[in-house]
Amino acid sequence: MATPCGSVDRAAGRVPAYALDRSHEVQELNNPQPVIEGCVLRHIADPPACGQRIDRHVDPGDADISGRRGQVPGSFLCIDRGGLRVLAGGDLVNELVPFRSSTLPELVAAAGERAGMRFLEFFAANIRNPHTRRAYARAADEFLA
Amino acid sequence: MPAIGAVQPVHVATWIEAGTRELAAPSVKQRLAAIRHLFDWLVTGQVVPINLAASVRGPRHVVTSG
């Protein structure tokens, strides 16, 4: 049943890319300075290999996007290639990188880059619980699609 | 709707109303909470001026036990 504002293929169990929290997992970073839609992933001194797991706790460091510095232990918030990626601690630089804007809901993408970034920040920085993040992302995706 | 700034409470209410026909009340309440929180966050970031989902009421859910 289509909702007035669009719908999600619930039968397929689709979860928005920005809801996928793959903690402690860093995916492939082929190019240390990829430029993706105007956003630059700055300075990754030692990009981890594809699928490499990092078991240590990570200090969020200087680039604190959440306003909760020091309260996000080991927060590798790696949210798929289609969404956003936050790399934290060690030799890595904390970074919030929007990837393809097509992953954003249409209404958010139409509102501009700032809205898109803020939208992604909501899931990355404001919601701790991965279950909540997933549920909220599904609801937002369905409403705003 | 052209952009997220054009969302009106009636849009949220319609979506919630449609949700009540296929989902349980707590699920619909959770979805409404998600939209409320999201708009709160967008208000803080000055993406939208006000939270237009704040005034929408969700379905009633009563649990009687004991």
Closest C-alpha among A133, A105, A128 to residue A6 = A105
Residue B33: what pLDDT? 95
Nearest to B18 among A3, A108, A139 (CB): A3
Q: How many domains does chain A have?
A: 1
For the segment A20-40, what is each residue's pLDDT rounded down to a tens digit? Answer: 543 333 333 333 333 333 232
Give the integer Cα–Cα distance in Å for A81 and A141. Answer: 17
Using the Cβ of B30 and the Cβ atoms of chain A, whether some distance falls under 8 Å is answered with yes
C-alpha count within 13 angstroms, C-beta hemisphere, residue A99: 13
Q: Is B42's Cβ below 8 Å from some Cβ in A? A: yes
Please list every residue in chain A whose beta carbon sits closer than 8 Å to the beta carbon of residue B58. Answer: none
Q: What is the pLDDT of residue B50?
A: 92
For residue B34, list chain A residues with Cβ-Cβ distance below 8 A. Answer: 135-136, 139-140
Q: Which residues of chain A have pLDDT under 70?
A: 1-103
Q: What is the pLDDT of residue B65?
A: 85
Q: Tell me how many degrees the CA angle A29-A48-A79 measures, rounded to the nearest 5.
A: 60
Domain that holds residue A98: 30-144
Out of B2, B15, B33, whose CB is closest to A5? B15
Report the gap between the CA of B3 and the closest CA in chain A (Å). Answer: 5
Q: What is the pLDDT along chain B (66 residues), one digit of tens a residue?
A: 677 888 889 999 999 999 999 999 999 999 999 999 999 999 999 999 999 999 999 999 999 887
**First and final CA of chain B: distance in angstroms?**
47
Identify which of B22, B33, B37 has the shortest CB distance to residue A1. Answer: B22
pLDDT at residue A92, as a whole number: 40
Calpha distance A13→A145 (Å, rounded): 16
- Total domain count for chain B? 1
Per the domain annotation, does A11 fall within a domain? no
In a domain? residue A4: no
In a domain, A16, yes or no: no
Q: Smallest Cα–Cα separation from B38: which of A41, A37, A104, A88?
A: A104
Residue of B nearest to A139 (CA): B31
Provide, as residue numbers in chain A, all residues whose Cβ is less than 8 Å from the Cβ of B18. 1, 3-4
The DSSP bridge pattern shows strands A95-98 and A35-36 to be: unpaired
Question: Which residues of B are less than 8 Å from A126 in CB distance?
Answer: 37, 41
What span, in angstroms and rounded, lies between the C-alpha atoms of A15 and A114?
23
Q: Which of B35, B41, B47 sits opposite A126 (nearest CB)?
A: B41
Domain that holds residue B6: 1-66
